[in-house]
Amino acid sequence: MDPNRKLEWTALEYEEKERGNDWFWALGVIVVASSITSFIYKNYFFGLFLIIGGFLLTLFAIKKPDLVFYEVNEKGLKIRNRLFPYKNIKAFWIKRDTDKPTLFIKSERLFMPIISMPIDPTLVEEVHNFMTFNEVKEEEIKEHVSEKIMEFLDF
């Protein structure tokens, strides 16, 4: 494998979902009812927390996803401008059983050590070859339960 070779692709930060007015109304009703209940029980801090959380959920729901740049090169995996050197990647897994292949990376980070990113279907084998050539362990990694919950809640 040519050590100066690199693979580059771009993908949306997350899959954009179309949410109708019903989704926003449901969120509003849940937040308002929960906040009022908290205030009735004199739990003002939690009521305020629910209002702020509902506001932030609304902002994230209407935000458009950014286009993210990915690169695999001789030094490691680059996501946007952050480089993950191969020595800091504990393991990788490529989920191929869907029409949108996903690369999972287990890093040394304490917070959110599993990173998932979509791969261009034409680059799956080449990404796999880069990882194995650089002695990154291949280990089955699944998406976190919180990601499945967020997907179920239409996020």
Largest CA distance in the chain: 67
**Taking the CA atoms of the chain, what radius of gyration do you get in angstroms?**
20
3-state secondary structure of 89: strand
pLDDT of residue 155: 65
**Is the CB of residue 105 less than 8 Å from the CB of residue 77?**
yes
* 117: amino acid identity, one letter: M
**Cα separations (Å) of 1 from 4, 71, 136?**
9, 16, 15
State the Cα–Cα distance between residues 23 and 148, nearest whole angstrom. 18
% of the chain with per-residue pLDDT over 70: 95
State the Cα–Cα distance between residues 22 and 150, nearest whole angstrom. 18
pLDDT of residue 50: 97
**68-114 residue pLDDT tens:** 999 999 899 999 999 999 888 999 999 987 778 999 999 887 777 88
| pLDDT reading at 3 higher than 60 | no
pTM confidence score: 0.73
Q: Mean pLDDT across the stretch 123-135? A: 90
pLDDT of residue 145: 78
Residue 53: pLDDT band with limits 50, 70, 90: very high
